[in-house]
Chains A and B, each alone.
Chain A
């Protein structure tokens, strides 16, 4: 809190910091306007409504998944100041938990949530307590190397135990669903819906509970939080565990959408980091909105700049956002 306010106070120059001074609804209107403009341009470019509506629907649904993956990461980023390169690897662990539950025990894929989320919560707590706790307050590269090492360790253990062959999880009754002149599948809709519910739950947890208040207090000022009697070590552990549990939930939800290999989690790592920075570090709702924005950018960008990598349009948007709002779309709050 104090840091954010200080930053506001220290930057009075109105002409340079104009964007930050504007009320939030203007920002929202500008973003919405840009999205509409992109849609219109995409329509002009492709000359076909079906393709554009498909791009928008796919973009939003894929974006929901990106947001879901980024939520846990942003929480860890915001509270522990850890750049967690192992997030994708944690997601892969959840993918394999789903594979085992579905293919060995024959349960409905979404029910694997009941196993994956608690297991990943405990794993996250253990990793924070026994591996990362010592690196708190140490230089950034210590944590960076530890999480990178963890990611390698997890990747290779999965390779050892499950072998390199691709695995898959099928959602029973996963048929095409027409929606707004486009088509999608049940599994994508389900992943999107649960991502929204999960974001809402996290938001309530952070805003309306004692634990959430404590987490936000530690994020804002950890020595201040310690002074008023908050056990910061416990909060660090709990937050990392919640973040890892989010990766677990994301893993179960995306399992029917991806080919499952020991390296699958890496696919989401880079995009998740972009989404976290775009949405504002530590902001859960920002991660969800950032995810949607990146999903839409990726799909519409492919129509606007055919023959280019979708990453091109993603990074154009990324650089623009960093230029005008270096703290991310929903910066400040943590």
Chain B
């Protein structure tokens, strides 16, 4: 009998643990109902941060949650929402576990606990569900990271997106490849593609292929892989080597990005560049550390924090001091998302979600992420300033290299592990 008891604990402990991760600070009971329209001093306005805090994307999710926390602190330290008598923001953090159904139920719970806006969620599939919840409850949802075009193709009124959509990212990637390789005197002729097989990688591959062909590049061979299972890329990279391609485009996530770098380093194909498009590895400081020499010279065309912006530099330092880690762009986008909400609350002079939605649609706010202009939203909710820039791993660091106004140093093309 005693053994049953022990087994019961073993079973219950992780569940309890998971529950702890899921429901951060329990909201004050009976507080629901979203803070009405009246603003008084000492009032707090609840906003929600919904990210994958556990599971395989926990590293990104926790970074983004930290970003949102820092933004709330910054707003409160600066005196709260000025037009509402210095009302303070309160952040409700929740764990989506990267699962669409969990994201959906947590989104619903956060709204019931009085959140007047939601920031999230990293995975496109989760954002898709949360967008539906937000629309039904008429509560604004500001997406920091999630690339799928489909999310905003539903005609939702309450969902806004800060990062560039998959289409913008893929077209930008092909455009930059053409411009950079031509300027370097070695125009890309044949581009091999390695992409993860999910909706993200496939969409990037399709749009990139079309754009690259229209710019006069030949595309092939194309290989896909399962990012959750793949353990080695030497065969695929050998096939790329045999095909005589001069550029290898990679659209994938972190772990597989490191494996690609190791395979390229082992096989040593004659490439002018390994070219990431919205790659989840090649523009992270962690990648430069883990892949070491194998990742030297890798490019990534992606949305990225603006390292030349003094405000961003201050945030990078604050993050490093507080969490002893290098901030990722996702966290800066979460920070921006909270700023957008705070700015809109200030203009709306009300915490009513519907009024807030109207104010968010009118946003015009400079971003901490590299953009071609301030954050403004199109009628579908896309951030019109969002666009990718080109990063390269140089000397174990991620540097911004193109376009010129964002370049920290010049790009090196051709540049692969050859040196």
Contacts and interface: CB of A to CB of B under 8 A. Distances in A.
A51 B242 contact: yes
Interface string A244-273: 000000000000011101110011001100
Contacts of A182: 234, 238
Contact of A149 (B15, B197, B223, B228): B15
Nearest to A167: B290
Interface in A154-174: 155-156, 159, 163-166, 168, 170
Nearest to A268: B231
A contact residues, range: 35 or more
Interface string B1-43: 0111011001111110110010000000000000000000000
Dominant secondary structure of chain A at its interface with chain B: helix
Given A152-B14, A156-B21, A262-B58, A166 B225 contact: no
B270 interface: no
B7 A135 contact: yes
A152 B17 contact: yes
A25 interface: no
Interface in A139-157: 142, 145-146, 149-150, 152-153, 155-156
Interface in A247-306: 257-259, 261-263, 266-267, 270-271, 299, 302-303, 306
Among A164, A166, A310, A311, the one with the most B-chain Cβ atoms within 10 Å of its Cβ is: A164
B235 A259 contact: no
Interface of B: 2-4, 6-7, 10-15, 17-18, 21, 54-56, 58-59, 61-62, 197, 221-226, 228-232, 234-236, 238-239, 241-242, 254-255, 258-259, 262, 265-268, 286, 289-290, 292, 325
A131 B59 contact: no
A176 B11 contact: no
B59 A164 contact: yes
Contact of A183 (B225, B234, B254): B234
Contacts of A193: none
Contacts of B55: 263
A306 B194 CA distance: 11
B60 to A, nearest CB: 8
Contacts of A130: 6
A308 B4 CA distance: 45
B226 A311 contact: yes
Contacts of B290: 166, 168, 259
Given A145-B11, A166-B59, A311-B226, A302 B235 contact: yes
Given A51-B238, A176-B268, A183-B267, A153 B56 contact: no
A270 B229 contact: yes
Contacts of B10: 131, 146, 149-150, 153
Interface stretch (A8-16, A54-62, A221-229, A325-333): A54-62
Given A156-B14, A307-B224, A309-B226, A54 B7 contact: no
A156 B53 CA distance: 11
16 contacts: A50-B242, A55-B238, A65-B231, A134-B6, A134-B7, A149-B13, A152-B17, A164-B62, A166-B258, A182-B238, A183-B267, A184-B234, A259-B254, A302-B236, A303-B235, A309-B226
5 nearest CB pairs, A to B? A134-B3, A152-B14, A164-B58, A164-B59, A153-B14
B296 to A, nearest CB: 15
B229 A159 contact: no
A46 interface: yes
A267 B229 contact: yes
A153 to B, nearest CB: 4
